[in-house]
Amino acid sequence: MKGGRMKDEGRSFWSRGLARSSFILLPSAFILLMAGCATQPKTHMLDLKIINGRIIDGTGAPWYRGDVGVHGDTIVSIGDLSNVSAATTIDARDNVVSPGFIDLLGQSQSSVFIDPHLEAKVRQGVTTEVTGEGKSPGPLSQKEIDAANPRNKPTWRTLGEWFSVLEKNGSAINFALFVGADNPREMVIGDVNRPPTADEMRAMEQIVDQAMREGAIGLSTSLIYLPAMYSTTDEIINLARIAAKHGGVYFSHIRNEGDRIDDALDEAFRIGREAKIPVNIWHLKTGGAANWGRMPHVIERINAARAEGLDVAANVYPYAASSTGLSTLAPDWALEGGYAEFKKRLADPAQRARIAEELQAQFRKRGPKGIYVTRIGNPALAQYDKHFIEEIAAMMNVPPDEAMMRLFAETNGSPNVIFFSMNETDVQTALKQSFVSLGSDSGSPPPAARALGQGTHPRAYGTFPRVLGHYVRDEHLFTLEEAVRKATSQAADRTNLTDRGVLRPGMKADVVVFDAAKIRDVSTYEDPHHFSEGVLDVIVNGAPVLRDGVMTTALPGRVLRGPGYRPEHRPQDMQWGVESRLTLGH
C-alpha cells in the first residue's frame, strides 16, 4: 500500500481445502525468505502476527487454538508461531479470530466518498462489502450525470471509471459490485413501461458486457423499484446470459416478497434455469401479516429448486422490519416517468383519487405502527421525521393516505421509511437455513448523519454482531462456527471471491478478532446511531483498520473485480458501447 490507496485484486490459485495441521505455512517464496533470515535474528519474519486466538476458520469447523501469520496482504502461516518474530503482534487474548465478514448487500457506494473509513461497517467486523442492488453507480448516461445534485455529481460514467475513482480515494474495506439491470434500461429506454425493441435489447446487452469486462461480479435486479418494475423476465434472462458468459452471478430483490412471493420465486428460478447462472435472493422475507408463517413454504420452494439442480441461495438481515422508500406503496403506473411525473399525477384530481385508494389499502394492510418515517429529506418537514405515518396524519389533521400524498408533493425524492412488516419466527426460520448468508442492506452512516441524529435502520450498525451475539448467544439458533461461516465462506462462495472468506495460508489477510461473550448490537429503531460492541481488531489486506477497539487511519481496501475482468478493456476504450445508444427510446 502506498498512501492508503487501493489496488486491484489478483486472483488466488489457493483452494480453501488445505488440511489443517499444528503449523501451516505458505510454501515457496516465503519459506525461502524465512530460511534466508535464519541467521539474521533482527530481521522480522512476518509483517503481522495474531497470537493466542481461538480460530474459527470460516468453514463451519470447530474452533481451535492457534496463531495467524501475515506477510504483506496474505496469510502465510497458521499454528504455533511463538518462535517466529513479526513486525507487529496482536494478542487476541483468547478471543475469536475469524475471517473478515462479507456484507452481501452493503449500500455504501455513496457514503464511502464521504467517509472512506466506514466506521459502522468496520466496528461490525465487515472487511468486504458487496453492493449494487439493481442500480450500480455506473455506467451512467450523460442525462443522469447532468441531473445529479451538483454537490455530489458523478465524475465517472462507466463502472470501470467508478472503480478507478474509488481506488484513488481509498477505503477502509474492500468493495465488489454488480452491474445493475436498471442501468442499461435507464440508458437505453428510460423510466417508461414497455419492453425493449430488438435493437435496444442488443444495446443493453453491450452495456452489461462492458461492465462485466470492467470487473462487475454479476448482474443484479431490484424489481419493485423504477424502472426495474417494468422489466420483463425475458429481458432479465438476456442480460443474465451475458453476465453468465463472464462467470458472473445473479442477485435479485425479487418482484414480490409478500402475497405474490410464489410468482416472484418462479421468476427467479426461471432466470437461473434459462440463463444458466447462480441465483441469490436478497433479504429473503415474507412480508405482511397475512403472510406470517409462510417462510417454511418459501424454504421448501428453494430447497426443491436446489434439488432440481438450480444453484439458488439467499441472504437476510436479522431484523423483523425492512427499510425503503415510502413511494413503494404507490401503484406502479403512478411512478412511470420518475418522481417528478408522479408528483404531476398527484396534482390531477382524478389520478390523485386513484393513488389515494391504493395508499389507503396499503395502510389498512400494514396497520398502525407499521410505517415509520425515518427521514423526509425536506427541512421544512423535519418535524415529521421519526414518526409513524398515523402520527404524522394526526399532526396534519388529515387521514394517513392524505398525509403520505402531502409528503410526496413536498419532496423531490421519496421519504425514507421503516416497515414493521415481518414476523420474528419467519426471520429465524430463514436465518438458520444452511444456504442463507448475511447482508445488512444499509450503507455506513457518515459522521454528519450521526451528528444530526438522522433516522436510519439499526441494521446499518448491528447486522453482524446481532447474529453473532443475540442469535448465537441468546437465542441459540446455531453455533458460533455456523454464524461465522454464513458471514464469511458462504458469502464468498456466492460471489466468487475465491481468496476471501476462510483463514488459510494463501488467502488474503482479511481478519477479525472479537469477544464472543460481549459482541452485541446496540443500535435501536428509536436511537440508531450507536456502534456495535465486541469487535476488537479488524485487518483488511494485512493492514489494521481497527486496533484494540480504536479506528486507525489506514485505507487498505481494494476493488475486488469479478472473473470476467479484462484489464485491456479500459473505460476510455469502450465509450462507444455506452454512448452510441443513449438517445434510444427517449
Q: Which three cell numbers stand for residue 261?
A: 412471493
Does residue 496 contact residue 562 with C-beta atoms inside 8 Å? Answer: yes
CA distance 534 to 547: 12
Q: Does residue 214 lie in a domain region?
A: no
Element (H, E) at 372: strand 371-375
Which among 170, 53, 201, 77 is positioned nearest to 512, based on CA atoms?
53
Do 171 and 117 sit in the same domain of this protein? yes
CA distances from 403 to 66, 194, 333, 346, 582 (A): 59, 31, 20, 13, 38
Do 401 and 432 sit in the same domain of this protein? no
Do 290 and 376 sit in the same domain of this protein? no
Q: Does residue 40 lie in a domain region?
A: yes
Q: Does residue 29 lie in a domain region?
A: yes
Q: Does residue 149 lie in a domain region?
A: yes
Q: Does residue 511 lie in a domain region?
A: yes
Query: Which of residues 419, 452, 481 is at a domain's end?
Result: 419
Cis peptide before 196 (omega within 30 of 0): no
CA distance 445 to 92: 29
What letters, b where the CB count within 10 A reaches 16 and e where it falls short, cover 307-331? eeebbbbbbbbbbbbbbbbbbbbbb
Residue with cell string 441465483? 279
Do 498 and 391 sit in the same domain of this protein? no
Do 464 and 393 sit in the same domain of this protein? no
**Per-residue pLDDT tens listing for the chain (586 residues):** 433 334 344 333 233 333 333 344 554 444 444 433 433 334 458 999 999 999 999 999 999 999 999 999 999 999 999 999 999 999 999 999 999 999 999 999 999 999 999 999 999 999 999 999 999 999 999 989 998 888 889 999 999 999 999 999 999 999 999 999 999 999 999 999 999 999 999 999 999 999 999 999 999 999 999 999 999 999 999 999 999 999 999 999 999 999 999 999 999 999 999 999 999 999 999 999 999 999 999 999 999 999 999 999 999 999 999 999 999 999 999 999 999 999 999 999 999 999 999 999 999 999 999 999 999 999 999 999 999 999 999 999 999 999 999 999 999 999 999 999 999 999 999 999 999 999 999 999 999 999 999 999 999 999 999 999 999 999 999 999 999 999 999 999 999 999 999 999 999 999 999 999 999 999 999 999 999 999 999 999 999 999 999 999 999 999 999 999 998 765 544 443 333 333 333 3
Q: How far is CA 227 from the centre of its chain?
A: 20
Which among 308, 272, 319 is positioned nearest to 430, based on CA atoms?
319
Q: Which three cell numbers stand for residue 156?
A: 465517472
The SS3 call for residue 388 is: strand
Q: Does residue 194 lie in a domain region?
A: no
Q: Which three cell numbers stand for residue 518?
A: 460481549
Q: Which three cell numbers stand for residue 492?
A: 464468498
Residue with cell string 477497539? 549
Do 144 and 292 sit in the same domain of this protein? yes
* Per-residue pLDDT at 569: 60
Q: Does residue 269 lie in a domain region?
A: no
Query: Which of residues 389, 419, 449 is at a domain's end?
Result: 419
> What single letter denotes the amino acid at residue 543?
A
User: 237: alpha, beta or left, given left = phi > 0 and alpha = psi -120 to 50?
Assistant: alpha
Q: What is the sign of the dihedral through the CA atoms of 80, 83, 87 and 91? A: positive
Q: Degrees (nearest 5) of the Cα angle 475, 279, 171?
A: 75
Do 331 and 467 sit in the same domain of this protein? no
Residue with cell string 489478483? 10
What letters, b where the CB count within 10 A reaches 16 and e where it falls short, cover 156-175? bbbbbbbbbebbeebbbbbb
* Per-residue pLDDT at 14: 31
Domain of residue 46, residue span: 1-179+285-302+312-321+421-559
Do 441 and 373 sit in the same domain of this protein? no
Do 5 and 121 sit in the same domain of this protein? yes
Q: What is the sign of the dihedral through the CA atoms of 403, 405, 408 and 410? A: negative
CA distance 176 to 217: 7
The DSSP bridge partners found for residue 86 are: 46
Q: Does residue 205 lie in a domain region?
A: no
Q: Supply the DSSP symbol for 473.
A: I
Do 394 and 293 sit in the same domain of this protein? no
* Per-residue pLDDT at 309: 98
Do 111 and 1 sit in the same domain of this protein? yes
Domain count, the chain: 2
Q: Can you spell out the DSSP letters for 48-59?
A: EEEEEEEE--SS
What letters, b where the CB count within 10 A reaches 16 and e where it falls short, cover 382-395? eebbbbbbbbbbee
Do 540 and 463 sit in the same domain of this protein? yes
* Per-residue pLDDT at 575: 43
Q: What is the sign of the dihedral through the CA atoms of 13, 112, 488 and 85? A: positive
Which among 451, 53, 421, 60 is positioned nearest to 69, based on CA atoms?
53
Which residues, other chains included, contact 221 with Cβ-Cβ below 8 Å and sequence gap of 6+?
A: 134, 180, 181, 182, 228, 231, 236, 250, 251, 252, 253
CATH (domain of 296): 3.20.20
pTM assigned to the model: 0.90
Query: Which of residues 419, 453, 468 is at a domain's end?
Result: 419
